[in-house]
Amino acid sequence: MKAQELRSFDQEKLDSLLQDCYKELFNLRFQKETGRLTNVSRPRQVRRDIARIKTILRERELAEEVTGELPSG
């Protein structure tokens, strides 16, 4: 998922996506340990998605501290 797409989502949607990514990453780790992981690049993609989401959440948090309101966009 691209960062530009993520920026268009609201806070609740980003929180939901973050939780889904953590669940998927857990399942992928479990598949790896049991030898059932077919797409070995997927854990890396999910970790990067988590990082993107957390970065956007942090940007919004900092913008809110500075301006006192959420940025539009």
CATH code of residue 17: 1.10.287.310
Residue 73: inside a domain: no
**Cα gap 73→71, rounded to integer Å:** 6
Residue span of the structural domain in which 54 resides:
3-66
Beta carbons of 7 and 60 less than 8 angstroms apart? no
pLDDT in tens, 9-56: 999 999 999 999 999 999 999 999 999 999 999 999 999 999 999 999
Residue 40: inside a domain: yes
Rounded to two decimals, the pTM is 0.88
Number of structural domains in the chain: 1
For 4, other C-beta atoms within 10 Å of its C-beta total 8
Residue 72: inside a domain: no
